[in-house]
Amino acid sequence: MAMTNDGYHIPVLLHDAVEMLVQDGAGVYVDVTFGGGGHSREVLNLLGDEGKLVAFDQDQDAKSNLIDDGRFEFVPQNFSFVKNNLRMLGLYPVDGLLADLGVSSHQFDTAERGFSFRFDAELDMRMDRQATLSAKVVVNEYEESELANVFWLYGELRNSRKLARVIVQARSEKRIVTVGQFKDVIKGLVPEMKQKKFLAQVFQALRIEVNDEMEVLRLLLEQLEHMIKVGGRVVFITYHSLEDRMVKNFIKTGNVKGKLEKDFYGNVIRPFKEVNRKPILPSDKEIEINPRSRSAKMRVAERI
């Protein structure tokens, strides 16, 4: 099997994440965001002969990094149906689960995938290339109000309505097909001093919509209560406030909305407890080596 390419993806918070995840060398663990396989390889290093690791990834490119190890199982899907897949494999419940959310370096750096505003390519952004919804479809076919909602909810952009209006006006004259065309259309709204940040927020919003990322994360979180053994752990690495808020709410209250529910005796009903009260952040050294890690936050919780 092909070994991981160092340029594919530099795993964020690698040792911290895996050491906090693996509490039993004979346990069953899940990496729901396999990518370049960096985290998975480190998990396997900590497992004994009895241990097992199941990895998920919907991106076809991830298959080039599969690990030749009898303890390793790969499922070529996203993690929205992780529980059912683990049941089918007879590996349920499990001792721990790792989710390194967001986009891999490989996806950002492969121009034709259309994830990055640094390259001119077709507007795509699909993590699963079999999916029908692409950024091109969102930009050209969504109603103005729908577009504004995407930019407001997923990019947290204050001028979301203006942005949507400009896009709708431009596409009425000519379909917007490439990253370059799209950037030209919105350039009048890009703040001069914060170009990179603004474009990152715009592209993040489109990517989240295309891949239904918030819904997929919600589905994963709602499966965890019955999927993780008591004493088992979940490790989440997030890259923007929307993901982090959802994970934080779930850990604190047992639901993604952060609504406290109590039992008859007044105890908060929640299946997990925080292992780290504050999120773990990359060190300055890691950020220097891998600048993309700078927005990462890691939260760890234990099943109770």
Which residue ranges make up the annotated binding site for S-adenosyl-L-methionine? 37-39, 57, 79, 100, 107
Q: Which residue carries 């600048």 as its tokens?
A: 291
Q: Which residue has the tokens 């914060």?
A: 194
Angle between helix 14-21 and 38-46 (nearest 10): 40
Tokens at 202, concatenated: 């715009």
Single-letter residue type at 28: V
- Buried b or exposed e, range 201-225, using 16+ CB within 10 angstroms: bbbbbbbbbbbbbbebbbbbbebbe
Cα separation, 196 vs 28, whole angstroms: 41
Query: What's the CA gap between 200 and 213, in Å, rounded?
Result: 16
Q: Residue ranges for the binding site?
A: 37-39, 57, 79, 100, 107
| DSSP category for residue 32 | S
- d(Cα 174, Cα 246) in Å, to the nearest integer? 38
Q: Of 128, 44, 30, 48, nearest to 87 (Cα)?
A: 30
**CA distance linking residue 199 with residue 103, whole number of Å:** 16
Question: Cβ distance 149 to 89 under 8 Å?
Answer: no
Residue 145: Cβ within 10 Å count: 11
Q: What are phi and psi of 56, to 5 degrees?
A: -120, 145
Structure tokens at 158: 């204050």
User: What is the distance between the alpha carbons of residues 66 and 72, in angstroms, rounded to a whole number?
Assistant: 9
Q: Distance between CA atoms of 267 and 253, rounded to whole angstroms?
A: 11
